[in-house]
Each structure stands twice: as structure tokens, then as C-alpha cells.
Amino acid sequence: DNHQSENALFSGKRVLISAGPTQEKVDPVRFFTNRSSGKMGFALAEAAANMGAKVTLVTGPVSLETGHQMIQRLDVVTAVDMYKTMHAHFPENDIVIKAAAVADYRPKQIYDEKMKKQSDDWHVAMERTKDILQSLGDIKEQQFLAGFAAETTDPVDYGIAKLEKKNLDAIIINDVAAQGAGFGGDTNVVTYINKIQDKDEITLRSKQAVAHELLLLIARDMKDETN
């Protein structure tokens, strides 16, 4: 039956997922970060494991637990850590999904001691981090590579631009301004777009249910590519 076959949809497959925010320190007590609970990435890891995959979950600092036997969890803090860990595990994986909210900029200088209050203004010089997803797209071989796009305006246009620029097989667009798609919540609403720009809308539902639907779409598109 249908449920049986879904349980084995990813058996023998290895899935690499990134989740959560990164944290970029400026001094021992302060850091820059992005809003991300990690819930969507963790839901994807669990859904993939439930479908028989061997999952590696690379996560920034989050307050979530993983119980599944088939999930290997690797904790990272900075964008640099996440870059290294994702690249270390990329070659042996079949499906790679980047759900993390990676800092685009980090402080140019990290102070060893806590900054004391001085003047009325504090200007922190920032530098760009490497785009992890783009770097994986550049070296991709057999992998099915999917990214997320967090947008507040023109989500589909910006999403397609990211799909093409980063050499992805699919982009999952999060309209963060939409009802029920807010950060930290237990629900999401996304648009999935594949390489040939088929669009699939996943309407408002739990992040678990969204994850399940996304993996079915990925399985469909992987099958099409091998035909």
C-alpha cells in the first residue's frame, strides 16, 4: 500500500540537511544571528529518516532534540563551521537540503574581551560570509541539491533567480510575510519549484506535513532525472 512504499522511498539513500541559524560572535558576550528555530530543517531530517534515509543533520544553535536512530546530528555555530561540515559530508550524500538561515555577514573583527560602553555609537564593520549553497552548487555531481529562499517581496521571482544562480535542482520558497509562515511557528506554507520550473504550492500545514510533501516532490523529481 501507499504508506508502506513511502516508508521505503529513501531506503539506501543518504540525505544531508542543514538547519537553524548561525551565530557570528563580535565579543565573548555578543553575536549576530538570523531568526530561525530550526524546526523546518529538523522536520525534514525526521521525515527523510522515516522514509528510510540515513540522515546527517548539520545544525546551528537551536533548542530542539533529535531522537531518530537514523539521524546523525552535527552541531555547528558559525557560517565557517557550517561551510566546512557541509563540504566534509557532501560527497557521500545523494540528497542535500539547505534549510539553514546562514548569516550573510559576520564581524570583521572578534574582540577577545567584552566591549565596554564608550561613545554613543558603536559601528561594527562586517564582511560577507561564503555562500555555502552556491559553493555546493558549483561542485555538484550526482547530488540532488535543494535550497530554501526566505523572501518578503516577489518570492517566486527571487526564488527562481536563486535556483538558477546557485545551480540547484529545486528551491523551496518561504514567503515569510505569509499567514502561518512566521518564524518559530509550527506551521509553514511554501512553494516548491524544480529545475524545469514546475511549481507546487504546499498550503498551510504543520512543518512535519510540509516536510513530508517536500520529500515526495524531491523523490518525484529524482525519479524523473534518472529516467
Q: Is 104 among the residues that bind Ca ion (CB under 5 A)?
A: yes
Segment contacting ligand CTP by CB under 6 A, of 41-49, 108-116, 145-153, 197-205: 145-153
* Least Å from the CB of residue 105 to ligand CTP: 9
Nearest of 72, 39, 45 to residue 186 by alpha carbon: 39
Catalytic residue among 2, 34, 93, 188: 34
d(CA 143, CA 193): 17
Segment contacting Ca ion by CB under 5 A, of 74-82, 99-107, 141-149, 179-187: 99-107
Task: With residue 138 as reference, give the H or E element that holds it.
Answer: helix 132-139
Q: Is 34 among the residues that bind Ca ion (CB under 5 A)?
A: no
Binding at 159: pick from ligand CTP, Ca ion, none (beta carbon under 5-8 Å per type) = none
Q: Is 46 among the residues that bind ligand CTP (CB under 6 A)?
A: no
d(CA 129, CA 124): 15
By beta-carbon proximity to ligand CTP, the closer residue of 10 and 155 is 155
DSSP letters spanning 23-81: EEEEETTEEEE----SHHHHHHHHHHHHTT-EEEEEE-S-S-----TTEEEEE--SHHH
174 is catalytic: no
Q: Is 27 among the residues that bind Ca ion (CB under 5 A)?
A: no
Active site residues: 34
